[in-house]
Amino acid sequence: MSEIINVLDRGYVRLVDVMGSDLSVVNSARVSYDKESSELSDKDERLIRFLAREGHTSPFRHASLQFEVYAPLMVARQWWKYVVGSDHTMDSWNESSRRYITEEAAFYIPAANEWRSAPENSKQGSGDVVSNFVGERATAALMKHIESGESLYAMALEKGIAAEQARLFLPAYGMYVRYYWTASLQSVAHFLNQRLAHDSQAEIQAYANAVYELVQPKFPVSIAELVKTK
C-alpha cells in the first residue's frame, strides 16, 4: 500500500498501512453477544451509527491506521498534542532526528500571496492575505534567514561540532520533519474533527484534509458518523 497526497510546497501524507474496516467496528461491538458478521449489512451500518451517536467509542479503537507525514515543525508540534494528550489509546509516534542524521534540510516557505494578517479580534489564528508588497518582502526575508541558518549549521558540522548541537543553528518552525503516526480510528476521527474546523490553522487544515481523503475510502460508514466537520 502506498497512497500519498502532497501538501503545501513539499510536504505529504502517505497512508502506510490499515488494520481493519467498518466491519471490524461492528464485530468488536457484537462480540459481547458472541455474534459476528461476515460482510457489512444495513443492520451493521445502523449499529455503527448508533455507536457513534451514543458515544460508545471503544469499538472504533479496534481499527487503526499508520501514516508517514512530512510536515513543517509547526504542524508536527500541533499534531503531536493529539498523541500526548489523547485518551483514545493506540497512538504511537516516531520522528526522524537530527541527533542521528544530517540530511539536507528542507523548509516551508510561503509564497508572497500566502502570508496572512493577524486577526482583528483574536489572539490566535489569522486574517486576510497581506498585500503582495508585504508578502514578497516576507518571503525574501525568510529565505535569507534560512540561508544564514543553513550556512551556520554547515560551518558547525565542518568544525566538528556534534550534529545534535549543530542543529541549533537551523530555523526551527518552518523546517520539515518526517514522522510515522499510528492511531486508532477513533483517534484519527478526533484529530479530523479538531483540525478540519474552519478556525484551525490553515497549514494543519491542509494536512487534515489529506488524512481525511486517505481514511474516508477505508472506513466510509464510520468516518461519515464520527467526523462532523466535513
pLDDT tens across 95-115, in order?
777 777 677 889 999 999 999
pLDDT at 53 over 90: yes
pLDDT of residue 84: 59
Q: What is the average pLDDT across 140-166? A: 95
Q: What is the average pLDDT across 38-56? A: 94
Alpha carbon separation from 29 to 34, 60, 86 (Å, rounded): 10, 9, 22
At 186, the pLDDT band (50, 70, 90 cuts) reads very high
Please tell me which residue in 14, 98, 167, 195 is annotated as part of the active site: 195
**In CATH, what number does 3-99+175-226 get?**
3.30.1360.170
Q: Please, are residues 175 and 106 in contact by the beta-carbon 8 Å criterion?
A: yes
pLDDT of residue 216: 97
pLDDT at 42 over 60: yes
- The rounded mean pLDDT for the chain is 90
Q: Please, are residues 12 and 4 in contact by the beta-carbon 8 Å criterion?
A: yes
Reported as a single tens digit per residue, the pLDDT across 62-96 is 999 999 999 999 999 999 887 755 555 567 777 77
- Sketch the domain layout of the chain as residue ranges: 3-99+175-226, 112-169
pLDDT of residue 33: 75
Q: What is the average pLDDT across 195-200? A: 91
pLDDT of residue 31: 87
pLDDT of residue 124: 76
pLDDT at 26 over 60: yes
* C-alpha closest to that of 186 among 20, 13, 64, 79: 64
Q: What is the average pLDDT across 38-62? A: 94
Known active-site residue 49 = no
Q: Please, are residues 222 and 25 in contact by the beta-carbon 8 Å criterion?
A: yes
Q: Tell me how crowded residue 205 is: count the other CB atoms within 10 A of its CB.
A: 17
Weakest mean pLDDT among 10-14, 81-85, 120-124, 165-169? 81-85
- Distance CA(149)–CA(130), nearest Å, equals 26
Q: What is the average pLDDT across 174-184? A: 94
